[in-house]
C-alpha cells in the first residue's frame, strides 16, 4: 500500500479517536455533533490536499475520507445520539446507508456494468452497410476477465471495422506494461479478432510514445503515429496524432477529393471544435466524466468540449459532421480512485448504412440484446 494512503489513514483514524472522546463526554449537547462534523470534514479535506503528491491522489484520499472514515464517523454519531436525539440519529442512519450504497455501486458494481450502445448513421456516400465497433479507454493495469469479456462481445458482433481511440494499458513501469501487452495481444489472438477491413488505433495520453504500437504488431490494420488518412474498404479513416487531437483549433481538410465516407479518429475530442472535414468523428479520453451527478452530469471531463457531448451519443456539429465521444470501457488507474458513478463503462457499435437502406431495417431486425443495450438512428 502507498505510504501516502497509510499516512492519510493514520490522520483519519487519529481524528476519529479524538472525536470519539469528544462525543462520549458531550453526547447530551447537540452542538457537539455539529462541531464534530466540522472538525472531521475539515481535517479529512485539508489532510488530503496536503498529503497527496499528485492531482488524482487528492481524489483517492478524499474517497477514503468519505467512504471509509465517513461511515465510521456517522456510526459514532448514531451511537452517542440515539437516546436523546433520535431524529438526528435517524437522519445519520439514512446518510450512512446511502453512503455505503454509493460506495458499493461506485467501486464494486458500476465499473464492470458494461453498457452496449448502438447507433445507425445513414449516408449517401455508402454503397454497402458497415458494422463498426468502438472500444475506447481500456486503460487497464491488469487485463482480466472483464476486459476479455469486452473483446469477446466485440468478436461476437463480427464488426467490419474496429476503432480504438487510445488509452490501452496504464501501469507504473515498463516491466508491468510488457506483461499486460502480451496479455492484450494474446486476447486478440485467442478471439481471432480480425475485422474485415482491419483494426485502427491511435495513441492515448497514457500510452507511451516509444512502445504503444507494440500492442498491434500482429493485428491487421493500422496504427497512427502521425496524422494521416488511409483507405479501409468503402471508407477513408483519418487517425490524428496525439497533439492534433488535443488542438481545438485544428484545421484538417480531407486530402482526397473522392466521395468516400470519411471517419476521423483521435483520442482527445477537442479536435471536433476545429475545422476538421469528416462525416463521423470518433474520440474517447473523457470517460464520460467517470463520476456524474443526477440532473447535473459530469463533474469534470478533462476536455474543452461541452460536457453533454461525452456520453457516447451522436452529436450533430454545426459543420454537419457527427461526433461520438465514448465513455470508454475502463477507468483512470495509478493514483486515481477506481470508481464510476452514474457513468457506466460503454461499448459502442455503429451501423453505417447506405441511404437506400432504412435505418430501422438493420437496427430493429432483432430485439434489444440486453436491458443495457441502447439503440439510436441518425
Is residue 132 classed as helix, strand or coil in its secondary structure?
Answer: strand
Exposed, middle or buried by CB within 10 Å (0-12, 13-18, 19+), for 132? buried
User: How far apart, in Å, are the Cα atoms of 10 and each of 2, 3, 40, 369?
Assistant: 13, 10, 13, 48
Judge whether 342 and 101 are in contact, CB under 8 Å.
no
Residue at a domain's end among 88, 110, 132: 110
Residues 261, 353 within the same domain: yes
Residues 188, 326 within the same domain: yes
Kindly report the CA angle at 33 between 30 and 34, in degrees rounded to 5? 95
Residues 183, 98 within the same domain: no
Residues 22, 86 within the same domain: yes
End-to-end Cα, the chain, rounded Å: 48
What pLDDT was estimated at residue 363?
Answer: 45
Residues 36, 136 within the same domain: no
CA–CA dist 80, 77 (Å, integer)? 5
Residues 266, 164 within the same domain: yes
Name 352's Cβ contacts closer than 8 Å, sequence gap at least 6.
121, 123, 126, 129, 130, 131, 132, 235, 261, 280
Residues 333, 346 within the same domain: yes
Residues 269, 357 within the same domain: yes
Kindly report the CA angle at 291 between 287 and 295, in degrees rounded to 5? 115
Name 346's Cβ contacts closer than 8 Å, sequence gap at least 6.
114, 115, 116, 117, 288, 312, 326, 327, 328, 329
CA–CA dist 375, 359 (Å, integer)? 11
What pLDDT was estimated at residue 254?
Answer: 78
Residue at a domain's end among 110, 139, 161: 110
**Rg of the chain in Å (alpha carbons):** 24
The cell numbers describing 156, all together, are: 461476437
What pLDDT was estimated at residue 204?
Answer: 95
> 167 lies in which domain range?
115-377
**Number of domains, the chain:** 2
* Phi, psi (deg, nearest 5) at residue 49: -70, -35
CATH number at residue 149: 3.60.21
What pLDDT was estimated at residue 159?
Answer: 97
Answer yes or no: pTM beyond 0.85.
yes
Residues 131, 197 within the same domain: yes
Per-residue confidence in pLDDT tens, the chain, 378 aa: 689 999 999 999 999 999 999 999 998 999 999 999 999 999 999 999 999 988 999 999 999 999 999 999 999 999 999 989 999 999 999 999 999 999 999 999 999 999 999 999 999 999 999 999 999 999 999 999 999 999 999 999 999 999 999 999 999 899 999 999 999 999 999 999 999 999 999 999 999 888 999 999 988 889 999 999 999 999 999 999 999 999 999 998 877 767 899 999 999 999 999 999 999 999 999 999 999 999 999 999 999 999 999 999 999 999 999 999 999 999 999 889 999 999 999 999 999 999 877 665 444 332 222 324 455 555
CA–CA dist 143, 185 (Å, integer)? 11
Going by C-alpha positions, the residue among 345, 354, 286, 355 that lies closest to residue 315 is 286
Residue at a domain's end among 77, 110, 143: 110
Distance of alpha carbon 150 from its chain centroid, rounded? 14
Residues 138, 282 within the same domain: yes
Where are any strands of DSSP class E within 150-227? 161-164, 199-202, 221-224
Residues 147, 237 within the same domain: yes
Residues 101, 120 within the same domain: no
What pLDDT was estimated at residue 11?
Answer: 97
Amino acid at each position: 500500500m502507498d505510504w501516502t494512503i497509510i499516512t492519510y489513514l493514520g490522520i483519519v483514524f487519529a481524528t476519529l479517536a479524538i472525536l470519539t472522546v469528544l462525543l462520549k463526554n458531550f453526547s447530551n449537547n447537540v452542538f457537539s455533533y455539529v462541531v464534530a462534523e466540522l472538525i472531521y470534514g475539515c481535517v479529512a479535506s485539508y489532510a488530503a490536499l496536503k498529503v497527496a503528491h499528485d492531482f488524482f491522489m487528492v481524489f483517492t484520499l478524499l474517497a477514503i475520507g468519505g467512504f471509509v472514515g465517513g461511515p465510521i464517523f456517522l456510526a459514532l454519531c448514531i451511537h452517542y445520539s440515539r437516546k436523546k436525539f433520535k431524529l438526528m440519529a435517524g437522519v445519520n442512519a439514512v446518510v450512512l446507508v446511502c453512503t455505503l450504497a454509493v460506495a458499493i455501486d461506485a467501486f464494486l458494481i458500476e465499473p464492470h456494468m458494461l453498457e452496449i450502445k448502438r447507433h445507425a448513421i445513414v449516408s449517401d456516400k455508402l454503397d454497402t452497410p458497415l458494422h463498426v465497433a468502438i472500444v475506447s479507454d481500456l486503460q487497464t493495469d491488469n487485463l482480466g476477465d472483464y476486459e476479455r469479456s469486452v473483446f469477446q462481445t466485440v468478436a461476437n458482433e463480427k464488426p467490419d471495422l474496429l476503432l480504438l481511440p487510445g488509452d490501452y494499458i496504464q501501469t507504473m513501469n515498463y516491466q508491468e506494461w510488457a506483461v499486460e501487452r502480451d496479455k492484450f495481444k494474446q486476447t486478440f489472438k485467442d478471439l481471432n479478432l480480425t475485422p474485415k477491413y482491419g483494426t485502427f488505433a491511435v495513441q492515448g495520453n497514457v500510452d507511451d510514445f516509444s512502445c504503444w504500437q507494440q500492442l498491434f504488431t500482429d493485428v491487421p490494420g493500422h496504427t497512427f503515429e502521425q496524422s494521416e488518412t488511409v483507405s479501409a474498404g468503402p471508407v477513408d479513416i483519418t487517425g490524428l496524432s496525439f497533439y492534433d487531437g488535443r488542438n481545438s483549433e485544428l484545421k484538417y481538410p480531407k486530402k482526397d477529393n473522392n466521395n468516400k465516407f470519411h471517419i476521423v479518429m483521435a483520442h482527445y475530442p477537442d479536435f471536433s471544435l476545429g475545422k476538421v472535414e469528416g462525416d463521423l468523428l470518433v474520440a474517447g479520453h473523457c470517460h464520460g466524466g467517470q463520476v456524474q451527478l443526477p440532473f447535473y452530469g459530469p463533474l469534470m471531463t478533462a476536455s474543452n468540449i461541452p460536457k453533454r457531448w461525452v456520453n457516447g451519443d451522436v452529436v450533430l456539429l454545426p459543420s454537419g459532421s457527427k461526433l461520438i465521444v465514448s465513455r470508454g470501457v475502463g477507468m483512470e488507474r495509478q493514483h486515481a480512485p477506481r470508481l464510476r458513478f452514474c457513468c457506466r463503462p460503454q461499448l459502442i457499435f455503429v451501423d453505417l448504412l447506405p441511404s437506400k437502406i432504412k435505418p430501422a431495417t438493420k437496427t430493429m431486425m432483432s430485439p434489444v440484446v440486453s436491458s443495457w443495450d441502447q439503440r439510436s438512428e441518425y
